[in-house]
């Protein structure tokens, strides 16, 4: 179970960092810690529910790619808009 929680915290870290990368707001430790806590809870629940690593990996890989592409496109779009205003 502990490894599921650690994995959830890792996912929360990645999610939180990507969220701040796409936004222009200053770092807020309270918001960031919320992502870590939610990740830990999700990992703990997955262990409690008996979700296997392969099931979790398949789900997270799919959801993760969707979120990653979404974050990346929003970040690129903001940079393009900001660059076009300065030109």
Q: What radius of gyration do the chain's Cα atoms show?
A: 16
Phi, psi of 52 (to 5 degrees): -75, 165
Query: Model confidence over 12-70: pLDDT tens digits?
Result: 777 777 777 767 788 888 888 887 787 788 778 877 788 777 777 777 677 777 777 88
Residue 32, C-beta contacts closer than 8 angstroms, at least 6 positions apart: 16, 20
Most confidently modeled range among 38-42, 73-77, 82-86: 73-77
Q: Where are the domains of the chain?
A: 2-86
HSE-up (13 A, CA, CB side) for residue 26: 0
């Amino acid at each position: 179970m502990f490894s599921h929680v650690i994995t959830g915290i890792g996912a929360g870290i990645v999610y939180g960092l990507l969220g701040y990368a796409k936004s222009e707001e200053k770092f807020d430790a309270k918001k960031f810690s919320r992502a870590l806590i939610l990740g830990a809870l999700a990992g703990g629940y997955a262990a409690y529910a008996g979700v296997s690593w392969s099931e979790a990996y398949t789900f997270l890989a799919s959801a993760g790619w969707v979120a990653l592409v979404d974050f990346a496109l929003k970040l690129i779009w903001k940079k393009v808009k900001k660059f076009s205003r300065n030109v």
